[in-house]
Structure 1
Amino acid sequence: MQWTTDVAIVGGGVIGCSIAYRLAKLGVKSSVFERDLFGGGASGATAGVIGPVWHVDPSMDAISTLGLRSLEIFKTLSSELKAAGVDPQFQQNGILKVATTPEQMKLLQDGLAWQGELGLDVQWLDRQEVVEKEPDIHPDILGGVFSPQEGSIHGQQYLNSLIHASALMGATFHERVEVIGLERQGDSIIGVKTNNDIVHAGHTVITAGPWTRNTDQWLGNSIPVRPVKGQRLLLKLQGFLPKTPVNNFLGYAIPQMDGNVLIASTREEELFDQNITAVGIRELLGKAESIFPCLKSATFVGGRAGVRPGSPDGIPIMGPIPGYNQLSVASGHDQIGVMLSTGSAELMADFIVSGKKTNLEAFDPSRFL
């Protein structure tokens, strides 16, 4: 069977679905193809931290700018998605980053200086102020920094809300449908071939996460994205829930709307499996107790694992793929894909519609291809 769509999106994680939503807002119909379940990978297993202030770094200006833009979009996007019918569970209750050593204190204080220069609302807290905010915090805490405009989102709910709202505007989503090739006409990509159909498209964008590198069989060269496995846990302790997500340089403890505490995360290079392991559980339980010792008495609710797409230089790979017309990529977001999803979708959708690489220069795939 053959059919037509405006834009074919290969990969149904948070980046692909965010682009579909942004395109739909611009009046462009897209079709998203996911070989597994929507949310079956890293997007469903994410910690959901929306904390770009901690990624504001003079040496990573592109990510800093994109992260802060993404945060601005989240503030209105969450209400849009909720109004459309599915609540993404965005909680803008701030993020608290704490230090337990003098070296960590210096890192926080140095960061506070240039974050303040950018006009970001970041507050220094001494030990007593940290304890007042989170009474059950680890006693070794020396101080911390609180960023009230940040927060977290529920990964699976966010993905579901994007799919639901986009579908209402005409996007189509195809689960357990694998793209097995590209349809070519000279140097132009005119669609995709799935395990069911041939789909003609005016533009094709590859958002396949760590599996993006497998497109070398279609393109003749490999987009250098590597797998980075991450595991996270859910714990529950009766009568206890942090007021805000807390990071202590080792991991995160993030309050959930259902009363659970999400603990994140491991980082395991070059692993494609999505299994929860005994080693991962032990590491995550250690992170939990290092933030809130009371969590050693918590009930184990469950765990998830996903595989993130890492890039060689730590910067996402987004934009047109050299040597081809009507073909682009958006991948390599590593562990900050959800955080950067809204800004990335804005950049990519604007490029797909206008053909102009406005603000995409730092992410250009040509730096590798």
Structure 2
Amino acid sequence: MKSYDSIIIGGGVIGSTIAHCLAEQGLHVAILEKNEIASGASHAAAGLLGVQAEWDEYDPLYDMARKSRALFPKVAEKIREKTGIDIGYEAKGIYRIAHTEEEWQRIKEIRTWQIAAGEEAVLLSSEEVRKVEPNVSSEIVGAVYYPTDGHVLAPALTKGQALAAAASSAEIFEYTTVLQIVVKDEKVTGVQTTEGFFPCKQVCITTGAWSTPFLKQFNKNYGTYPVKGEVISLKSNRPLLKAPLFLKRFYIAPKRYGKYVIGATMEPHSFQEQVKASSVADILQRAFSILPALQDATWDRTWAGLRPESNEGRPYMEAHPTIQGLFVSTGHYRNGILLSPFVGEYMANKMVGNYVY
């Protein structure tokens, strides 16, 4: 079996981006994915780049998210040049809307600290919102518009990163389940898989909600768990929105070809990917109350994704303290798509810096 410098376990957006960044730095890389590239949470994600729309209060991830958002124009251009894939990057902003006076006061408070942090945040009354987005309900109290937020097509981004890695000589192995990370004398020597043994000097765990068995080699308390999110897509023959609407973990995102992605529910510790009829009813009810014109849209489809939350409430992005060549980057929860450009560069630089030739 051929030997690799670095093996990435998991072909989601985080793993594919790390692989791309490593391959561009000259390392011989393999991505091992138990299903298909972009078949998990990265396929299900709505692709919102909601740095300001998502963050209610400052934390260290906020700065990382800002830096990552700024990388997307370069990422979109590079993927298009190397693979021909259009990741659907749009920087038309996001509206965080308020349905009640309490929400209105809250988003104004959030706007204050974000402006202090150097971000743009435009306060809009209900009437001002409907001047730019006339289909939004008149019951909306107001909104804050974040002009530098945006969105992408998450599956296209993930597949684009993987194929861009392949264009830089990385190899992709789908339907290859990793059974064990093999360590000898405190050094990674390879991985045992359903397709045989893959020798390597480095391994990075990027297996999302399924990471816990591998993380036990890091720390007995480390682990990830799924937070199921159900999503709906509708189609409209006329444009209803220019930019996504965001309301307390709920969103309506206009996509290409007249599609509107709406969601999502939150169900911790569920690996069940079926969509409940009651969830569909709840999502549609909320969507119609925000954007009544959606009642005339037609059905497209529905699906569920499993967001990877960590036991620590923060992503794991580190090298093993004693095992040479063992790395992890998982548990990015709702923000894997958004954080992926920064995380890819960060982890690749960490791995290259620790590479033993």
Q: Which residue of the partner structure matches residue 145 of structure 1?
A: 144
TM-score for both structures, normalised by structure 1: 0.92
* Contact 1:43 1:338 survives alignment (8 Å): yes
Conserved 8 A contact 2:218-2:320? no
Report deviation, 1:5: 1.1
- What secondary structure does 1:258 align onto? helix
Kept in 2, the 8 Å contact 1:14–1:338? The answer is yes
- Where does residue 66 of structure 1 map in the other structure? 64
Mapped pair 1:346 → 2:345: yes
Q: Over aligned residues, Cα RMSD in angstroms?
A: 1.7
Tell me how far apart the structure 2 counterparts of residues 123 and 355 of structure 1 sit (CA, whole Å): 44
**In the alignment, structure 1 residue 180 sits paired with structure 2 residue 179:** yes
**Structure 1 segments of 4 or more deviating over 4 A?**
55-59, 216-220
Listed as ranges, the matches of 1:208-247 within 5 Å are: 208-215=207-214, 221=220, 223-247=222-246
Task: Return the alpha-carbon distance in structure 1 between the equivalents of residues 354 and 282 of structure 2.
Answer: 46
The one-letter code of the counterpart of 1:195 is: T
Hey, what does 1:355 align to over in structure 2? 354
- The size of the alignment, in residue pairs, is 354
Question: Which residue number corresponds to residue 261 of structure 1?
Answer: 260
Q: Which residue of 2 aligns with 1:157?
A: 156
Which whole-Å CA distance do the structure 2 matches of 1:219 and 1:310 have between them?
Answer: 17
Question: Following the alignment from structure 2 to structure 1, what is the Cα–Cα distance between the partners of residues 305 and 156?
Answer: 16
Return the alpha-carbon distance in structure 1 between the equivalents of residues 56 and 302 of structure 2: 31
The CA distance in 2 between the partners of 1:4 and 1:164, in whole Å, is: 20
Q: Secondary structure at the match of 1:3?
A: coil
Equivalent residue of 2:288, what SS? helix
CA deviations 1:89-141 (Å, max 9, x no partner) are 11111101111111111111111111111221211111111001111112211
What SS does the corresponding residue of 2:80 show, helix, strand or coil? helix
Deviation at 1:220, TM superposition (A): 8.0
Partner of 2:247: 248
Contact 2:54 2:249 in 1 (8 A): no
Deviations 1:202-253 (A, max 9, x none): 2100000010002267668353211111111110122133100111225111
1:78 aligns with: 76
For residues 248 and 218 of structure 2, the distance between their equivalents in structure 1, rounded to whole angstroms, comes to 40
Deviation of the 1:336 alpha carbon: 1.1
Question: Structure 1 stretches of 5 or more lacking a match?
Answer: 357-369
In the other structure, the counterpart of 1:3 is: 2
Q: 1:216 to 1:246 in 2, by over 3 A?
A: closer
Unaligned 5+ segments in structure 2 are none
Query: 1:271 is aligned with what amino acid?
Result: S
C-alpha spacing 1:218/1:285, structure 2 compared with 1 (3 Å): same
* Fraction of identical pairs, as percent: 29
C-alpha separation between the residues in 1 aligned to 2:97 and 2:216? 46
Q: CA deviation at 1:330?
A: 0.6
What SS does structure 2 have at the residue aligned with 1:21? helix
Equivalent residue letter for 1:32: I
Structure 1 residue 23 and structure 2 residue 57: aligned? no
* Matched residue type, 1:343: F
Deviations 1:35-61 (A, max 9, x none): 01212211001010001123456541x
Native 8 Å contact 1:250 1:287 kept in 2:
no
Q: Determine the structure 2 residue equivalent to 1:133.
A: 132
Deviations 1:254-283 (A, max 9, x none): 111121001021111100122222122122
- Kept in 2: contact 1:245–1:254 (CA 8 A): yes
CA distance in 2, matches of 1:250, 1:12: 26
Q: 1:317 to 1:250 in 2, by over 3 A?
A: closer
Q: Which amino acid aligns with 2:109?
A: D
The answer on whether the counterparts of 1:7 and 1:203 sit within 8 Å (CA) in structure 2 is yes
Residue 7 and residue 308 in structure 1: after superposition, are their counterparts in 2 closer, same or farther (change >3 A)?
A: same
After superposition, the Cα gap between the structure-2 partners of 1:282 and 1:56, relative to the gap in structure 1 and judged at 3 Å, is closer
Q: Give the Cα separation in 2 of the matches to 1:65 and 1:87.
A: 27
Equivalence map 1:265-280=2 (5 Å): 265-280=264-279
